[in-house]
Amino acid sequence: MADNDTPGRISAIRGAALTFIGDPFADAAETCMTYLPDALLVMSGGAIRKFGPAEDILPTLGSAVAVERYPDFPILPGFIDSHVHYP
């Protein structure tokens, strides 16, 4: 377990986020993607604990939680094996 992933330690990152709430291969982009211009992702023990608009989540965090800002980089879901093999 990495130092910043120790049980009980809470970390958070803040920035614009693009998430999928549907299947981008089966659904229209307008219905399967959500863009949040100011999102907060809260992690603890190697798992995501909270995610959503920063204005909703920030008041629920204690003052001891350090929030890292990434204004120039979007927060995206992990893309697993997202490639295509051509014949």
pLDDT of residue 87: 61
Segments in the chain below pLDDT 70: 1-7, 79-83, 85-87
What are the CA-CA distances from residue 38 to residues 62, 67, 80 (Å)? 19, 13, 25
Length of the chain: 87
70 and 36 Cβ atoms separated by less than 8 Å: no
pLDDT of residue 1: 39
